[in-house]
Structure formats: C-alpha cells, structure tokens
Structure 1
C-alpha cells in the first residue's frame, strides 16, 4: 500500500551551511540547557519516566535537561514544535504512535513520518483487552468463534481511530471476526469494564478487576507479558507481530550525527539505571531501548498497518 508523502522538502545544502553549525560548535555539544517537549499533560508513566531519565542525562551531559509539556491537538501541537525546532540537539521530544504515525497517515499534520528522527523507542504503556468474567469467552479464539456463531460483540475504546482501538480491531481481523460497534469509554464504565462486551483499557483501569477475577484479560497490547498479570498473552505471542502503545524520544530530522550520537548515548545510559527499570515493573510498563534504525523501521511498518485499518473503519 502506497502512503502519501508529507512534509516540506529539505533544501539541497549541508546542515552546517544552512544552520551555521561549525565542527567546533558540534564538538562542544552540549553547551546550554536541553528541553524535551512532551505533547501530553504531565503525570502519566511515560512523562514520569522521562523526567527521571532527564535527571540522569543532565548529570551525564553537564547541562540542565528539562521536560516541558506542550499539549493540544491530540499531540500534534507538541509534535509540530519538535519537527520544526532548530536541529541543533537542544530540542528533543516525546512521541507516541498517535502524533508520530496515525495523525500523519490521516493527513492531519504539516510534518511527515521522516521529519522526526527517533533516538529510540523506549517505553511500552500496558493496555489490556479485557472482558467481564461472565462473558462466554476467555481467549481471542473463543471470542472469534462466538462472533462467527452469529453473536454480536461491541468494543469499548477511547475513540474509533485511537491507537488502542486500531490495534484491537487489527487483532479481531487476524482472528477472523469484526466488532459490531465501537463505543466510547467514559470514566465510570471504564472502571467497571461496562462499556462494551470487550474493552481496551489501560492496566491501572483494569488491574483490580483482573486481579480479583471479576474480569479476565484476553490480550495485552505489549511485546512482553505484564509481570503482575503473567497469564495474559501478548499481541506479539498470539499474532507474531509487535504491537504496543510505545513512547519514543525524537529529534528534528536534520540534527548533525555527532550531536545525535551524544544524545543517544546519554539517553541509553539513563534508561539502564535501576530506578527506571524498577519504576517500569511497578507500573506494568516495559522499559527498553530500540535504536534509531529499528525504531524508524517499526514506525514505517506501523504506518502501513494503521492506514489499512483506518481505511477499513472509515470507508
């Protein structure tokens, strides 16, 4: 499937000429504070872990490294600020699949897939496809068999084209069925798993019900099993493909390689700290590091996959 091309064409000139960088200046990086733009409100697990990582990066690099929240537009406002920032390494950003992938393939952004360069994908937030314990299915196969026997099943999700919903629908398609309807979650029904016949929710929303067996998990949108709920299979196990609600650290596209390497090395070192790994385990998240090349490949693969499902849900 051919994706549309987005973004402004780069001028045919070197970064040093265009932006006034000298070899000496790049060698001295960093000389001043670094900001990391988060396009979401503060307080979620990815924001918290990035602030922890920023402290370690600051110690390593010898300059302040601060996370700032620039919200709005479903993450597009912050992502645009990252993509259009001066490519000198002093402006970085956190991105998730929404502003980095799905909003791009839907044509909602002025930047393209390649206008943001991943330092690395590093965090998977745990989402679970869960059902109440009185539902007559306990696996994706049983759910598919139930639908194919003539029954209807609705999906509770944050929005039809939100990434969790897209992944839940991709899982259904791979199992051989489709949801009758997608119903928007609300705060009350989310906590009781009372929106759809199956709900795709965050682990904190479902944890208590799953642990007391008032609900059961059919699938996690993670690449590793959630340590506190080890019996629930992952999307990757069931379908052989990666699928998670990831967060990555990005730079503008044309950051000089020497500067990019300094950022990448400091970030990887920060992620290795015990405090960050322990925090990930406590939240059910997964902290790791997928390098720039691997992250870019994953982003382009997801663009193809998500565009296919978006087309099916909107046509």
Structure 2
C-alpha cells in the first residue's frame, strides 16, 4: 500500500511538472549583456556598472560583450534571437526599438522585445573644431550656403542624423557630404574627415578644449558644455532625448525581469554611476518597464513623423 501511494504521488508530481522540471532560481549561471556599439561611450560605461552590481548582488558573473555592426542591428539581433531566459540581455539605444523598425531595416520587430527599463539619456551633440567660423546652426547654415561642409554621423538611419538633416532642411542648406560611422570621436574632426559631427560628450572629452558645440540634442543644458545651444531652441518640431536601456527577448519570465530591474536601479544610484554622469554630462536615472514602454510608444509615433518628412 505504501509503495502504491508513493508511486501515485510521484505520478501526480510528474503530471503537474513538479518532477524533472524544477526551475532553479535565476541566475544559476553567468549572464551576458550585449552592447551593440564599440566600447568607451557613456552607455558602455554605465552598463558595466550594472554588470558589476549584478555580480555583487547575485554572486554570479555578468559580462559585457561589445558587438558593433550595422549601426547596432547586429548586436540587437543576437539578443533577440537568444533564449528568453534572462541570460542574454541587450543594452539598446532609442533607434533600435523605434527608427530602425519604422524604416523596416531590421530582421526583428517591436513584438520581439520587452523593455526591462531605461537608465540614461545621451549627451548627444553636433560638434565642430574650435576655430570653425560658426557657433550655432543659423551661422552654420549661412556658412554652408557658400562653402562645403562635411558631416559625420552614426548612420543615416539614426535619429540624431535625421534630426541634423531636418535642421538643415529647415534652415535651407545641405551638407556637401555625409558619412556614417559606428562611432565618431576626436580624430574624426582632427583628421579632416568631417567639419561637423554628431557624437556624444563621452567620445570627445579628450579634445574638449579643441572643439565647440553647435547644438546639444538634449532637453537640458549639458553639464560639461553648459553654454552649448540646444537643438530644440534652434529648430521647430519635436526633438528627442536619446535614451538607452535594458531589453530582453519577448517571453522572458517576469521574475527575471524584476531581478534585472532591481539590480540596474541600484547600480544607477551608485556613486560610480553618478561620477560617470558628472564627467560625461549624461542624465542617469532608472525608469521602470511600464513607464519606459509608454515613453517608447510615444517616441515611436514621433519618430515615424520625423522619418516621413525626410522622405518627401
């Protein structure tokens, strides 16, 4: 009788998934955070703070892997085709869930990803050499009407590049050439590859005293360049905070996303993150998944409008 009852109990447990399918608590092995851009920029620095905090809180290693290519698409695709188990996480900027999908240039869609939370706004800029004969977009437009001006950017398909083209359209000029790079930095201007370039403060700190900011693509003045004119004050229509955050494949368990979010929020409150913000001019925060998704949805519609203008 006892053997019969034991057998019945085991059968019941098996039928309800209680035997042979017991889920270990996450994480039980190292995780990988994919950064779809080269190392060194502020988002890369901050995601490494998250990885360190993850290891500290869980005792399980978290490594950051830079996987640039296709202006972020290659790295994003590697995340979204991985198992939805929390062991591969993506650090995506605004273009990946918005403009790239709007343009239909990705093998993935909005339905393939879930946001864990957003953690920063880039200190994005349009920079020129210190001795350039213009200090803002209006002066650049006047100069460009009679002189060639070469633009470097992070890819024609990116929001900062399209906002720059929209500014040129509104102010009545065209760039003589425009070239996309996986990253632009001090050498891009110093080598004469471009006269003006889209970049971030984190990539130009080494030549901070040798450049000037023509426009800051931020909602507030950048702490590192407080006098830089804001893009939103120089053109009409919407401008965008260029955010970045953590994303996972659709179907990732909620408890896994909750653990990732709690660790990331703690990391963004750390002294290390605050120091990176102070040095780079980035806005560092934590915005949870519900609020973040609402923000993404709103930006998606505004980005659709921006790119429709550029096709006219």
- For normalisation by structure 1, the TM-score amounts to 0.75
Partner of 1:34: 31
CA distance in 1, matches of 2:294, 2:177: 30
Aligned match for 2:118, one of 121, 126, 132: 121
Report SS of the residue matched to 2:97: helix
Structure 1 position 265, deviation (Å): 1.0
| Count of aligned pairs | 290
Partner of 1:6: none
Partner of 2:151: 156
Residues 1:232 and 2:212 aligned together: no
Aligned match for 2:276, one of 268, 274, 279: 279
Partner of 1:7: none
User: 1:234/1:123 Cα in 2 relative to 1: closer, same or farther (>3 Å)?
Assistant: same
User: 1:117/1:177 Cα in 2 relative to 1: closer, same or farther (>3 Å)?
Assistant: farther
Q: 8 Å contact 1:33–1:90 — kept in the other structure?
A: yes
Structure 1 position 27, deviation (Å): 8.4
Q: 8 Å contact 2:38–2:68 — kept in the other structure?
A: yes
Q: 8 Å contact 1:61–1:266 — kept in the other structure?
A: no
Report SS of the residue matched to 2:156: coil
Structure 1 position 87, deviation (Å): 1.7
Q: Which moved more, 1:87-96 or 1:229-238?
A: 229-238
Q: Which moved more, 1:271-280 or 1:297-306?
A: 297-306
Partner of 2:216: 220
Q: 8 Å contact 1:191–1:206 — kept in the other structure?
A: no
CA distance in 1, matches of 2:281, 2:191: 19
Map of 1:79-228 to 2, 5 A cutoff? 79-132=76-129, 137-141=134-138, 146=142, 154=149, 156-158=151-153, 159-172=155-168, 176-184=171-179, 190-192=188-190, 198-203=196-201, 211=209, 215-228=211-224
Report SS of the residue matched to 2:76: helix
CA distance in 1, matches of 2:225, 2:306: 29
Aligned match for 1:78, one of 75, 78, 90: 75
Structure 1 position 25, deviation (Å): 5.8
Report SS of the residue matched to 1:99: coil
Q: Which moved more, 1:261-270 or 1:179-188?
A: 179-188
User: 1:74/1:143 Cα in 2 relative to 1: closer, same or farther (>3 Å)?
Assistant: closer
- For normalisation by structure 2, the TM-score amounts to 0.75
Give 5+ residue unaligned stretches, structure 1.
Answer: 1-19
Structure 1 position 275, deviation (Å): 0.9
CA distance in 1, matches of 2:230, 2:18: 46
User: 1:75/1:183 Cα in 2 relative to 1: closer, same or farther (>3 Å)?
Assistant: closer
* Residues 163-182 of structure 1: CA deviation (Å, up to 9, x unaligned): 32112234445x55453544
CA distance in 2, matches of 1:273, 1:189: 32
Q: 8 Å contact 2:163–2:239 — kept in the other structure?
A: no
* Residues 84-137 of structure 1: CA deviation (Å, up to 9, x unaligned): 222222221111234333222221222112321111221333332234566665
CA distance in 1, matches of 2:254, 2:18: 12
Partner of 1:15: none
Structure 1 position 233, deviation (Å): 3.3
Structure 1 position 138, deviation (Å): 3.3
User: 1:121/1:179 Cα in 2 relative to 1: closer, same or farther (>3 Å)?
Assistant: farther
Report SS of the residue matched to 2:215: strand
Q: Which moved more, 1:245-254 or 1:63-72?
A: 63-72
User: 1:155/1:291 Cα in 2 relative to 1: closer, same or farther (>3 Å)?
Assistant: farther
CA distance in 2, matches of 1:70, 1:25: 34
CA distance in 2, matches of 1:208, 1:133: 14
Give 5+ residue unaligned stretches, structure 2.
Answer: 1-16
Report SS of the residue matched to 1:50: helix
